[in-house]
Structure 1
Amino acid sequence: MEDESPPSQGVSVKVLEATLLSALKMLDVGKWPIFSLCSQEELKLIRQACVFGSAGNEVLYATENDEVFVLGTNCSGCLGTGDIQSTMEPRRLDTLCGKKIACLSYGSGPHIVLATEEGEVYTWGHNAYSQLGNGTTNHGLVPCQVSTNLVNKKVIEVACGSHHSMVLTSDGEVYTWGYNNSGQVGSGSTVNQPIPRRVTSCLQNKIVVNIACGQMCSMAVVENGEVYVWGYNGNGQLGLGSSGNQPTPCRIAALQGIRVQRVACGYAHTLVLTDEGQIYAWGANSYGQLGTGNKSNQSYPTTVIVDKDRVIEIAACHSAHTSAAKTQSGQVYMWGQCRGQSVILPHLTHFVCTDDVFACFATPAVMWRLLLIEPDDHLTVAQSLKKEFDNPETADLKFLVDGKYIHVHKVLLKIRCEHFRSILNSDDEIIEMNEFSYPVYRAFLEYLYTDNIRLPPEDAIGLLDLATLYRENRLKKLCQQTIKQGICEENAIALLSAAVKYEAQDLEEFCFRFCINHLTVVTQTQGFAEMDHDLLKNFISKASKVGAFRN
């Protein structure tokens, strides 16, 4: 019997249409903790990824060069490395390198089912129920191609239940294998199925366009929008109005006249998306995962009110009791289990993709589908400006400082700095600058392009002088921050002198406290020996008042 206690793992992960896929930045991938084991260089190369496992402790990813790597605890050999050893370093799967991954899914063991763009199917991992489709019950430690009954068939979508597997071919046929205690392979019996066999019955003459698996149930959407279901139904997740198991595909009569485009299965609940952008849900609801405003199970399809806007994507992950949806305007909603809490109505999130819902709210933090991670080549305005600093090809003005040129753009300087707005003329081509050193003036001009400064603390003193002269208050604060972060015993007196000179009282107090806290070493430095007489007198007086010279 299936119940609603969280299982070890089992999720259907599918590649959806390109229009629905979220192009993720590397920061988003980092929301899954397992990626903290990868270096920044490795993360930049990732183009596809799937985090899976009972605690999100395993990951498979493909790079821009179509190399495939795995990482994690390797339960039941699910990493496909040929052993059951966990690894904190990415390990290469030679069998799959060079083969472009089209879709991937995984079960509770876990076991993995993967299809390439050529339509080949590879499986590995847990196999106690023949869920690898190779005719045995031996765990698969390396990816092996499944060919029985799939020869000359191009697989375009894969789905896994807890311990059963399902694939969809390009000609609209469905094949299943593995655990069948509740009829989830659709064969009409409850005998486990060791090799792929086509699901027929009332699907015999139907063209299937989408598949999904719950823990122990299966779903198929056909081209006319009808939904067929089979397998375990103890929580009403088949939507047939009953709780009896179904050993062969059965059409959901309650959806008569409604054209469904896509189905998604949670642990014990089901979501469908119609061609009009509406959501229907049914099944288990103890965490509010149906989004109906209560926690009562539903065995019939029930309308989910997400937004006035059209929904374009639904998401569910049957390792958790969480649901998500994305609207046409890009808003992402979630409901159901949220880190142990119950959200019984669709809740607007700050996310831009449904994937982040499962990274941040679901337990475990796994992926509900294979992610396509596209490099973000678009530059923001700020990034574009930063790129153009000191670019002689686009600049229309040069500053000559210490015999070196710095290339800039008049219009940007006028926009960013009041000083330049008043002194720059349209016919200026070269301006010689003698008041400040090259590092200081270059840092100032770069600041106007980037809002940041890159200088050692000693040079930041000169920049502080410039900021004071040009009345750039924000730049003064940045200089003070840089000085504070770079202070040491050797430069403390020089920095204190600069703070006094430029009337930076907060910085002066900071440098003074540093000198007092490191008094013995500071008084032995060259800077202290060469200290200005008036400053030294003031320093000694102030230090005495705070008891620095007491025994």
Structure 2
Amino acid sequence: MAGMATSSQVKFCLYAWGANSYGQLGQGHVEDLPLPQLSDTTALKARAPCSLSGGGGHSVVIADNGAVFVCGQNNKGQLGLGHTTDVYNLELCPGLRQKIIAVSCGWDFTLVLSDNGHILACGSNSFGQLGVGETVRHSSSWLIVEGIKEPVVSAAAGLRHSLAVTASGFVYQWGTGLLSHTRKYFTVDTVPSHLRSKVPCLVPGLGEKVPCLVATGSAHCLYLTENGDLFMWGGNKHGQLISSEPFVPSPISLKRCLLGGEKITNVWSGWTHTVVQTESGRVFTWGRGNYGQLGRVISANQNSELLSHDPVTEGGYQEACLPAEVKVLSGATQVACGSEHNLALVGSCLLSWGWNEHGMCGDGSHIDILEPSLIPRLKPLLIGCGAGHSMAVCTATTPPK
């Protein structure tokens, strides 16, 4: 991560909080924690974490030397340890022989990206989300996704599907997790290939653009180009694609006029909501907002939960389905989205908002947080979310009490 000191210069620690039914907080137990607590990072041997991700019940930490450390639920082999036993403290993944630079966790599977542009995957393949075909039901060992023949620059794991974009700007999709959302609109034979493939399949209309990154929710997909254009497709039940259609099979672009004419520089996705940052540092959100995950208060008749079958009214888009700025997040240096909760770093402040049933917003309560709120005493260098848990890397001198 840019600006992070090397592990030889400063010591690091990992705080985690929220859902912990499978040991995904790395605390050595399975009790939920509504306040940040230190995780056991003995296995890292003082290496600096540079990437964090969590799934439905597991966590993955990438160290600055490319090593991978994991904990939590492992029933489908999603930890890549060669077995299917849950792990309550971070452990080194010994089976990876490539240097890993990024990670993205789906519900019960994991994708990692190596420094030479290869994607490796482990965990459940019930929906073809590992990208290795149909013969593998799940894998506790890391498998190379071989269907992409050029280096990958970004990969994203959704609930039960995956995305990747190559250096030349071609976007691939695999996994059949979106098929159930297409049944009202297509017959089995007419579903577009990229929505039903169990190996990497080109997404139409996106080739030869300068790539930045891909992101994905439970049923929607996002692709950001270096030029600041955002393309979106998939499920639109909660207005997360800003379209009048309940399902968008092929990519559509976001109109910049909805963001004050600015280019997008980053994008993040929860299960059913979208967060973007523009070139001036402004942060906009849209999509489902019934847990407060948009970071802004919307009236009951504008709530995206109520719009689940009709994201557009006669007078135009409802407020939850249109991008709106969350001004307190302006200038955020990092954002992380869980399934329905979020973290952000603004200056030295760590903010959280959204679903809080398991205490993943870190305020000590289990009440949903409707607007970004300060988590005191933590000043992280790096943040990450799982579906229902949160993580933050701090210097060892950070003194939360």
Percent sequence identity over aligned pairs? 26
Supply the AA of the counterpart residue of 2:84: I
**2:66 & 2:201 partners in 1: Cα distance?**
31
How far off is 1:365 after superposition?
1.4
- 1:84–1:286 CA distance, 2 compared to 1 (3 A): same
Task: List per-residue Cα deviations over 1:297-335 (Å, max 9, x = no partner).
Answer: 21111122216x633333212x2x1123323x3333322
Whether the 8 Å CA contact 2:59–2:71 is kept in 1: the answer is yes
How far off is 1:262 after superposition?
0.7
**1:69 & 1:263 partners in 2: Cα distance?**
25
TM-score by length of 1: 0.55
Whether the 8 Å CA contact 1:212–1:220 is kept in 2: the answer is yes
Whether the 8 Å CA contact 1:173–1:207 is kept in 2: the answer is no
Highest RCO, 1 vs 2 (Cα 8 Å, sep ≥ 6): 2
1:365 aligns with 2:349: no
- The structure 2 residue matched to 1:335, chosen from 350, 353, 357, is 353
1:175 aligns with 2:175: no
**1:120 & 1:266 partners in 2: Cα distance?**
25
Whether the 8 Å CA contact 1:158–1:166 is kept in 2: the answer is yes
The residue aligned with 1:113 is 111
Whether the 8 Å CA contact 1:208–1:223 is kept in 2: the answer is yes
| SS of alignment partner, residue 322 of structure 2 | strand
- 1:52–1:344 CA distance, 2 compared to 1 (3 A): closer
Supply the AA of the counterpart residue of 1:352: K
- 1:21–1:75 CA distance, 2 compared to 1 (3 A): farther
| SS of alignment partner, residue 306 of structure 1 | helix
Whether the 8 Å CA contact 1:22–1:353 is kept in 2: the answer is no
- 1:87–1:244 CA distance, 2 compared to 1 (3 A): closer
- 1:76–1:67 CA distance, 2 compared to 1 (3 A): same
- 1:251–1:205 CA distance, 2 compared to 1 (3 A): same
Write the mapping of 1:275-354 to structure 2, written as runs, cut at 5 A. 275-294=279-298, 296-297=303-304, 298-306=320-328, 310-317=331-338, 319=339, 321-327=340-346, 329-338=347-356, 339=359, 340-350=366-376, 351-353=378-380
How far off is 1:72 after superposition?
3.6
- 1:21–1:166 CA distance, 2 compared to 1 (3 A): farther
- The structure 2 residue matched to 1:35, chosen from 2, 26, 33, is 26
Whether the 8 Å CA contact 2:172–2:200 is kept in 1: the answer is yes
Structure 2 unaligned runs (5+)?
29-38, 183-190, 305-319, 360-365
Write the mapping of 1:354-433 to structure 2, written as runs, cut at 5 A. 358=385, 364-367=388-391
The residue aligned with 1:96 is 96
**1:331 & 1:365 partners in 2: Cα distance?**
19
Supply the AA of the counterpart residue of 2:353: W
| SS of alignment partner, residue 215 of structure 2 | strand
Supply the AA of the counterpart residue of 2:2: A
Supply the AA of the counterpart residue of 1:95: G
**2:5 & 2:197 partners in 1: Cα distance?**
33
How far off is 1:194 after superposition?
1.2
* Greater share of strand: 2
Whether the 8 Å CA contact 1:243–1:299 is kept in 2: the answer is no
**2:127 & 2:293 partners in 1: Cα distance?**
29
Supply the AA of the counterpart residue of 1:134: V
- 1:20–1:40 CA distance, 2 compared to 1 (3 A): closer
Supply the AA of the counterpart residue of 1:175: Y
How far off is 1:356 after superposition?
5.7
- 1:120–1:39 CA distance, 2 compared to 1 (3 A): same
**1:27 & 1:172 partners in 2: Cα distance?**
36
- The structure 2 residue matched to 1:220, chosen from 220, 223, 231, is 223
Task: List per-residue Cα deviations over 1:238-265 (Å, max 9, x = no partner).
Answer: 123x351100100122347221111111
How far off is 1:39 after superposition?
5.8
Whether the 8 Å CA contact 2:353–2:369 is kept in 1: the answer is yes
**2:167 & 2:15 partners in 1: Cα distance?**
30
**1:66 & 1:271 partners in 2: Cα distance?**
28
- 1:306–1:20 CA distance, 2 compared to 1 (3 A): farther
Whether the 8 Å CA contact 2:169–2:209 is kept in 1: the answer is yes
Whether the 8 Å CA contact 2:171–2:207 is kept in 1: the answer is no
- 1:363–1:157 CA distance, 2 compared to 1 (3 A): closer
Whether the 8 Å CA contact 2:12–2:46 is kept in 1: the answer is no
- 1:158–1:64 CA distance, 2 compared to 1 (3 A): closer
Task: List per-residue Cα deviations over 1:94-126 (Å, max 9, x = no partner).
Answer: 3304x2211111111x11111111111111110
Task: List per-residue Cα deviations over 1:513-541 (Å, max 9, x = no partner).
Answer: xxxxxxxxxxxxxxxxxxxxxxxxxxxxx
- 1:196–1:356 CA distance, 2 compared to 1 (3 A): closer
- 1:219–1:22 CA distance, 2 compared to 1 (3 A): farther
Whether the 8 Å CA contact 1:230–1:246 is kept in 2: the answer is yes
**2:348 & 2:146 partners in 1: Cα distance?**
40
| SS of alignment partner, residue 42 of structure 1 | helix
**2:172 & 2:77 partners in 1: Cα distance?**
24
- 1:219–1:43 CA distance, 2 compared to 1 (3 A): same
**1:167 & 1:143 partners in 2: Cα distance?**
17
1:143 aligns with 2:177: no
Whether the 8 Å CA contact 2:349–2:379 is kept in 1: the answer is yes
- 1:43–1:224 CA distance, 2 compared to 1 (3 A): closer
* Greater share of helix: 1
**1:59 & 1:310 partners in 2: Cα distance?**
27
- 1:300–1:277 CA distance, 2 compared to 1 (3 A): same
